[in-house]
Amino acid sequence: MEHLRKVIPQYEIKSVELSFEKLQKAIKAGELDFFIAPSGFFAYVAESAGARHIATRHPQGAKDPSKSVGSV
């Protein structure tokens, strides 16, 4: 988040930590522009609330993100 604030200072970027329950409710209500969460949680809300990924982080040594652990 700090990196985004530095590289695009013309935008106000706010971040808030939410419990998984509150995050799920905010996603379903359409209250978020984006969120960062563990991959397992993302898979759940992609199915239940229609979330879509914009990026996936994976270990440098894992060439295929679908065969590694990451977050979105």
pLDDT digits (tens, 9 = 90+) for 7-64: 999 999 888 899 988 988 888 888 988 888 887 888 888 888 778 877 766 667 777 7
Residues with Cβ < 8 Å from 15, sequence gap 6 or more? Answer: 1
* Position 72 in a domain: no
Distance of CA 33 to the CA centre of its chain: 10
Whole-number Å distance between alpha carbons of 37 and 53: 11
62: domain range?
A: 17-67
Please answer whether residues 56 and 62 qualify as being in contact, where contact means their C-beta atoms are separated by less than 8 angstroms. no
Q: One-letter amino acid identity for 55? A: A
Please answer whether residues 36 and 71 qualify as being in contact, where contact means their C-beta atoms are separated by less than 8 angstroms. yes
Q: What is the pLDDT of residue 4?
A: 87
Q: What is the pLDDT of residue 66?
A: 65
* Position 2 in a domain: no
* Position 5 in a domain: no
* Position 1 in a domain: no
Model-level pTM?
Answer: 0.60
Our count of domains for the chain comes to 1
Q: What is the pLDDT of residue 11?
A: 93
* Position 4 in a domain: no
Please answer whether residues 24 and 49 qualify as being in contact, where contact means their C-beta atoms are separated by less than 8 angstroms. yes
* Position 11 in a domain: no
Q: What is the pLDDT of residue 10?
A: 97
